[in-house]
Copies of this chain bind each other. A is one copy, B any other.
Amino acid sequence: MRKIIIGVMGPGEKATAKDLQNAYELGKLIAQQQWILLTGGRNVGVMDAASKGAKSTNGLVIGILPDDSQKGISLSVDIAIFTDMGNARNNINVLSSDLVIACGMGAGTASEIALALKANKQVILLSDDVESKVFFQKMSPNNIYVVDGVEKAIATAQTILK
């Protein structure tokens, strides 16, 4: 039986303090649900914080890396997939996730949300960026779930996965 994989996507270097806190909590709660966490694998921002959160409670973390280097990988990644395909790996991130939680906002995150919608995935949005919520909800009202906290994000994920 395949395991459920939740992708947490968000800014790297430009993540806010709140994004990082949310990401850590998301990683922790995802692991507590016995779900696998999937991130972009780097040792910065939302990727790293979510991975740390999942490891804090013995979760399993998959990192889909943009390059082929042993440098710059989150120390909390258990399984590193080296794509060496830069941001084109964002498509693999979303295709491999049963659902996507976007935590924070930036160009890379926006590309992942858009690629997820293109692939007809469900996407949960957690950030203070009002314009992104308005934009993506209008684009795909049936696939976008706007939430205002990590617990709501996890509760929404549970409902979607039922």
Contacts and interface: CB of A to CB of B under 8 A. Distances in A.
A118 B111 contact: yes
A161 B87 CA distance: 25
A154 B138 CA distance: 29
A87 B106 CA distance: 19
Number of chain A interface residues as a range: 35 or more
Interface in A1-24: 2-3, 5
Copies in the complex: 4
Residue from the set A3, A83, A90 with the largest chain B CB neighbour count within 10 Å: A83
Interface stretch (A26-34, A42-50, A91-99, A145-153): A91-99
Interface of A: 2-3, 5, 36, 62, 64, 68, 73, 77-92, 95-96, 105-108, 110-111, 113-115, 117-119, 131-132, 134-135, 138-140
